[in-house]
Amino acid sequence: MALQGLRAGESSAWKKLVLLLSLVAIMWRSTLFLVSFWGYIAQCYPATSSSYQGTLGLERPDDWERYVQSPARNIVSPVAIVSNYTQGNITNVDSLLTGQGVTTLTRNDGDTIPTIVVDFGRNVVGFLSIQFGGAYNSTPGIPSIRLAFSETLEYLTNVSDFSRSDNQDGQKTTPGSDQIAVESDPYTWTDTHGCEFEGTKVCADGLHGYRYVKIYMDALPADAPYTTSYGSVSISSMSLNFTGFLGTPDTFTGWFQSSDEQLNQWWFDSVYTNDMCTDTFRENDTEPRGAYSPTLDGKLVIHDGAKRDRDPYVGDLAVSALTSYLSHDVPQAARNVLADLGDHQRSDGWIPPASIRDYTLPLLDYPLWWVVCSYDLYMYTGDTEYITNYYPNIVKVLDTFYPSITNTTTSLLQKGLGVSAGYGDYAFLPRTGPVTYYNVLYVLALNHAASIATFLGSHDDDASRWTARAENVSDAVNGELFDTSVGAFWDGTCGSSPCATHAQDGNSISILSSVANHTTATSILSYLSSAMARPYGNAFYDNDVLAESYSQRVYAFISMYGWMASNEPGITAWEGIGPNGSKYEGAFTSLAHGWSTGIVPALTNNVLGVTPTGPGFSSYNIKPIPGDVQWAKGVVPTPQGPIAVYWDNSAWTQGVFFLSASAPDGYNGTISVPVTNSSVSVYLNSRLVSGGETDTGVKVVVEGSYASMSVSGDGENTITVGYQGGGKREL
């Protein structure tokens, strides 16, 4: 979420989209692959009665720690001097890196401004400290240093690419750079929000998210008479106190590794991005536009962005909370936010998207994401206390607020009814009427709420009412909002007729929420890829009917991780991508945004294949979609311990797919492995359970391109699928 001025900027339902599109891309490749694979096998190996049993490649390396991007300690030092930006009378600049001696900046009247640019080597967030060796001046005034922070060299200027004061409307603390009046004796200065003199002079904004810092010797005229641009200042070292979650290898409770080095790195890059956003909610470094909230103060939260958008928005959590659950054991970071927003529910059932503007920012979609996020919290962490406490809030938002903006003739949510006319969404898109995105998201939320009601028990009426309503809305979406001329859903209406534009969000979520059946989904995906593919990702609209450049804007999903990894600042996932792969809001763009980390749940849920089907993973599915990945292994944390999975597709020329999995004691799951020919042999723990003479009591269901079976209890289950004619082979 990015709220700018009176309109919100761009942001966030992207998560689900991300998941969906990546999944679909992988599925399609996978289908083609399997078809050709089995065709090939059938030609090569005549059927024999011999059977394959054995294990594959258990020697796969377990060295995921090398992908971890976190600094080793919370005190982080710069790694390089950017020499082509460094100028003026500066001695011994390398000592900033080596710690040997001091660096001295000297400026006399008429000199070039002494300037040093240091590179922290990666995007970081927190409070910068400078250990000064002292200052000297032969003329009146204290020598002044100014600091400008930036996530990229592209937007590095004499002021920060973004500083807290940029959002402070009429009451800016700084002009965009932080100022220091350097004391004459050695001391450590730490960037702190506030001013050194008179409450308004020689000021700093405090926390920054950045990769580069420009340090230059200069005084603001407004800071007179306290500081001067002249004299000498020496610096012995500088370091950052990193305030995000320090995600060192020992903190990972879940991980992902596969035969694809890039996927592995992007999984860990995105976790680091999310860690930068996971921080304690503090008054002086949250979003300054009315986001400070005593009920969040001091609590761990997941902010939207690291340098900007430092306020937790629930739409963004739909992605970032999953990344958090799947990587580290800090469920309270999401729970604190969901509980606080639930506590601020309005009397008509509406739930605020965030604390900004004292919990009044009017968004129409985020209360639905609150329901979806509450479901995810329950499913991933098994937090029964939370879901029981906030169940009445779910009832109220679904049964009071959304009916108040429903057109009773069509059963559809209609933007314009009730209070909704002035409401926005994750990007404050100017759309109206029966918007596909709101309606398909409503279906998803209703069905998730019905599942919660069923799991909790004694809420059968709620479950059946919500399921029936979801079906009504789903039928209406299919009946009213589909544009047969392109094979995708309209976005909304322009006047009384549909707008000639189609959005990625509603169309994708129509598939995730099962509003679109298989035929419709196929058509939608084909349209999305033909109309919206850009060299740096898929655009979120097919044209610019609603606003300029929408057809060129990309929110993070699978095809753009490479783009982000190979452009500054590197590693971290961006809030959005603009025309030609640019930062979509220039310097203002956050380049570490948790909502763009959907590759983490996408790979864990779909490639490793693990998803919860009961609260806290008490039941689960393991269903890998290999695509062109040869093997994957990883761990998914649950409240009772890890679910560990390893699968290997690399012996496909010998007709074999291997999977081994273990889950906590008492957990029951369904494991599905890819097949395209129901006559394959399936072995569970080396016993033939399908495809020949079996009498094991294990029921294997072959449906589509998967063979599925139930497993229960603890310990390890290994499943091997082999083409019947594959024989027993050395692998």
Ligand X SMILES: *[C@@H]1O[C@H](CO)[C@@H](O)[C@H](O)[C@H]1NC(C)=O
Q: Which residues bind ligand X (CB under 6 A)?
A: 38, 42, 47, 75, 82, 84, 89, 104, 106, 127, 153, 158-159, 175-177, 193-194, 232, 241, 243, 283-284, 407, 409-411, 414, 465, 468-469, 472, 478, 517, 519-520, 579-580, 618-619, 666-668, 677, 679, 712, 724
| Nearest by Cα to 320 from 278, 259, 262, 362 | 278
Buried b / exposed e across 100-134, counting CB within 10 Å, b at 16+?
eebbbbbbeeeeeebbbbbbbbbbbbbbbbbbbbb
CB 277 within 8 A of CB 312: no
| Alpha carbons 210 and 591: distance in angstroms, whole number | 9
**C-beta closer to ligand X: residue 264 or 411:** 411
Question: What are the beta bridge partners of residue 300?
Answer: 280
| Alpha carbons 487 and 630: distance in angstroms, whole number | 34
| Angle, vertex CA 517, rays to CA 516 and CA 523, nearest 5 | 75
CB of 127 to ligand X, least distance (A): 6
| Alpha carbons 237 and 625: distance in angstroms, whole number | 50
| Nearest by Cα to 84 from 218, 214, 237, 236 | 214
**C-beta closer to ligand X: residue 256 or 482:** 482
Residue 534: other Cβ atoms inside 10 A: 18
Question: What are the beta bridge partners of residue 194?
Answer: 204
H helices within 228-313, ranges in order?
261-277
Q: Which contiguous run of DSSP H or E holds residue 196?
A: strand 194-197
| Alpha carbons 300 and 323: distance in angstroms, whole number | 15
**C-beta closer to ligand X: residue 478 or 670:** 478
CB of 600 to ligand X, least distance (A): 26
Write the secondary structure of 501-520 as one string of H (helix), E (strand) and C (coil).
Answer: CCEHHHHHHHHHCCCCCHHH
| Alpha carbons 609 and 603: distance in angstroms, whole number | 8
CB 108 within 8 A of CB 230: yes
| Nearest by Cα to 219 from 211, 209, 227, 207 | 227
Question: What is the β-pairing status of strands 619-622 and 668-674?
Answer: parallel
CB of 483 to ligand X, least distance (A): 12
Q: Which contiguous run of DSSP H or E holds residue 8?
A: strand 7-8
**C-beta closer to ligand X: residue 230 or 426:** 230
**C-beta closer to ligand X: residue 57 or 283:** 283
Residue 39: other Cβ atoms inside 10 A: 12
**C-beta closer to ligand X: residue 253 or 679:** 679
CB of 155 to ligand X, least distance (A): 13
CB of 366 to ligand X, least distance (A): 23
CB of 279 to ligand X, least distance (A): 9
| Alpha carbons 381 and 466: distance in angstroms, whole number | 24
**C-beta closer to ligand X: residue 343 or 480:** 480
| Alpha carbons 356 and 533: distance in angstroms, whole number | 34
Residue 30's SS3 state is helix
| Alpha carbons 65 and 45: distance in angstroms, whole number | 40
CB of 159 to ligand X, least distance (A): 5
CA distance readout (Å), 654 to 128, 239, 651: 57, 55, 5
**C-beta closer to ligand X: residue 58 or 80:** 80
CB of 207 to ligand X, least distance (A): 9
562's CB contacts (< 8 A; 6+ apart) are: 262, 266
CB of 416 to ligand X, least distance (A): 7
14's CB contacts (< 8 A; 6+ apart) are: 319, 426, 505, 555, 556, 557, 595, 596, 598
CB of 75 to ligand X, least distance (A): 6
**C-beta closer to ligand X: residue 407 or 454:** 407
**C-beta closer to ligand X: residue 57 or 454:** 454
**C-beta closer to ligand X: residue 84 or 347:** 84
241's CB contacts (< 8 A; 6+ apart) are: 74, 75, 126, 127, 128, 129, 190
CB of 666 to ligand X, least distance (A): 5
CB of 50 to ligand X, least distance (A): 13
**C-beta closer to ligand X: residue 15 or 214:** 214
CB of 633 to ligand X, least distance (A): 24
**C-beta closer to ligand X: residue 31 or 410:** 410
| Nearest by Cα to 210 from 155, 130, 272 | 155
**C-beta closer to ligand X: residue 214 or 344:** 214
H helices within 534-637, ranges in order?
561-565, 599-602
CB of 45 to ligand X, least distance (A): 9
Looking at residue 511, its amino acid is I
**C-beta closer to ligand X: residue 57 or 77:** 77
**C-beta closer to ligand X: residue 81 or 659:** 81
| Nearest by Cα to 364 from 463, 433, 462, 312 | 433
Handedness of CA 474, 476, 477, 483 (dihedral sign): positive
Looking at residue 199, its amino acid is G
CB of 122 to ligand X, least distance (A): 15
CB of 462 to ligand X, least distance (A): 12
CB of 264 to ligand X, least distance (A): 27
Region of 140 please: left (phi>0), alpha (psi -120 to 50) or beta.
beta
**C-beta closer to ligand X: residue 260 or 285:** 285
CB of 63 to ligand X, least distance (A): 30
**C-beta closer to ligand X: residue 261 or 460:** 460
